[in-house]
Amino acid sequence: MSATGIIRNLTPPQIQAMKGGDPIVCLTAYTTPIAKLMDDQCDVVLVGDSVGVVLHGLPSTLGVTLDMMIMHTQAVRRGLTRPLLVADLPFGTYEAGPEQALASAVRLMTEGQASAVKLEGGRVQAETIRFLTERGIPVMAHIGLLPQAINTVGGYKVQGRGEDAENVLADARAIAEAGAFSVVIEKVTASVAEKVTEAIDIPTIGIGASANCDGQVLVVDDMLGLFEDFKPKFVKRYGNWAEVGRDAIVSYASEVRARRFPASEHLFGDEAPKAKTPRN
């Protein structure tokens, strides 16, 4: 809290300084109400391009646009006072090179009010990461499984096995040297994730990686149990919102059909209520 009593959001340097300290707590969010729920618990809130699958019903993240990301980032910003707000650069908004990435990142930060951006890729994106950070754009990197590259890798396969371990390590070193302030490691073997965490001086945030990463991230809808038919191995459900929500909808439908809702306490009478007498 500042001297004025206003709570300030955490900054990329503060997150980077958490390397080797207390684990970094990160979740995705896409709406204001959900952001408010995690405001006092998370260190980082990520507006992931997973919004396309989670909220828009897309088959993958590839159909997510920059305008969609800006809109959802604005919504999440309205619900946060403490966590660092990071937003994904969606597919097709940075692959052409550093200049395209800069233009996209500027929009996410000025229009969307993100405090940092995240992009997928290791060595191949090192030049872009350096270009952005030198121009005042904090970058969270993303290595291991890259959801935006599923057509290239052939699906959501575990990364880092066998000879691929050296590729993951090389990617991690490259993005750290390029200036990223942290890195998400997705669906990588635990032993490789631990080697990466030891090898670089920026925080590692695991998702399907290792408990020994510097932090963890999950898609909030997955950990709340909103998708009954989707449960990857690396997801732990901390709630069953799908069941709770379905039961509530069943009760509502039953009461409407039986004309038990709305009841008298939910309706308005013809006469205006009498003014209350003020207390002396």
Q: What angle do CA 225, 30, 232 make, to 5 degrees?
A: 35
C-alpha 241/C-alpha 169 separation (Å) is 38
Say which residue the tokens 């309706």 belong to: 267
Report pLDDT digits (tens) over 152-204: 766 678 888 998 999 999 999 999 999 999 999 999 999 999 999 999 999 99
**Residue 88 among known ligand-binding residues:** yes
**Number of domains the chain is built from:** 1
237 located within any domain:
no
**Residue 120 among known ligand-binding residues:** yes
**Residue 50 among known ligand-binding residues:** yes
235 located within any domain:
no
169 located within any domain:
yes
**Cβ burial 203-224 (10 Å sphere, 16+ → b, else e):** bbbbbbbbeebbbbbbbbbbbb
pTM beyond 0.85: yes
The torsion defined by the Cα of 199, 205, 207 and 212, in degrees rounded to 10, comes to 60
- DSSP three-state, residue 224: coil
8 A C-beta contact, residue 131 and residue 101: yes
17 located within any domain:
yes
Tell me which residues of the chain have a pLDDT lower than 50.
1-6
62 located within any domain:
yes
**Segments forming the whole domain that contains residue 128:** 12-223
C-alpha 77/C-alpha 64 separation (Å) is 19
**Residue 276 among known ligand-binding residues:** no
Residue 135 maps to which CATH number? Answer: 3.20.20.60
274 located within any domain:
no
Catalytic residues, which ones?
A: 186
Computed over every residue of the chain, the mean pLDDT equals 93
